[in-house]
């Protein structure tokens, strides 16, 4: 599931309630391990906070931005605003299986 489309211009994050630190969801370590196992480069952004998605992933020349949620987890208002302001796809993943399906689907030749 992606949010928004197109390219952001100007200060699109204006009006977003800022928080100092993000937190890591309980499923994130397993997702990161599964992605790295298939050869993906994974950078955690979870500590950035401010609605910024949790993972930046590169696999087979494609970039992915993942918002990691624990089962039953929902986007915060800050996350929704950031995703909308970014005007790019942010995939919401609840498990390693979700993340693997997305990168495989989006990078198949």
The predicted-structure confidence for 24-58, as pLDDT tens digits, reads as follows: 778 999 999 999 999 999 999 999 999 999 999 99
The distance from CA 48 to its chain's CA centroid, rounded to whole angstroms, is 12
What residues contact 33, with CB distance under 8 A and at least 6 apart? 96
Helix axes 96-107, 28-37, angle to 10 degrees: 40
Q: Environment class of residue 72 by beta-carbon count within 10 Å: exposed (0-12), middle (13-18) or buried (19+)?
A: exposed
This prediction has a pTM of 0.78
- pLDDT-derived band at 7, boundaries 50, 70, 90: very low
State residue 22's pLDDT score.
Answer: 65
Q: Which CATH architecture has domain 28-107?
A: 3-Layer(aba) Sandwich (3.40)
Q: Among 13-22, 38-47, 85-94, where is mean pLDDT lowest?
A: 13-22
State residue 103's pLDDT score.
Answer: 97
Contact by Cβ (8 Å): 85, 61: no
Please tell me which residue, 8 or 88, carries the higher pLDDT value. 88
3-class SS at 55? strand
Q: Return the domain boundaries, the chain.
A: 28-107
State residue 11's pLDDT score.
Answer: 39
């Amino acid at each position: 599931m992606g949010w928004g489309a197109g390219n952001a211009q100007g200060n699109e994050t204006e009006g977003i309630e800022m928080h100092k630190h993000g937190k890591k969801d309980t499923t994130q370590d397993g997702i990161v391990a599964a992605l790295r196992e298939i050869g993906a480069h994974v950078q955690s952004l979870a500590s950035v906070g401010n609605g910024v998605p949790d993972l930046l992933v590169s696999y087979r020349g494609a970039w992915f931005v993942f918002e990691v949620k624990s089962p039953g987890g929902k986007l915060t208002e800050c996350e929704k605003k950031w995703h909308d302001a970014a005007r790019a796809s942010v995939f919401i993943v609840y498990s390693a299986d979700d993340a693997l399906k997305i990168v495989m689907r989006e990078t198949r030749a």
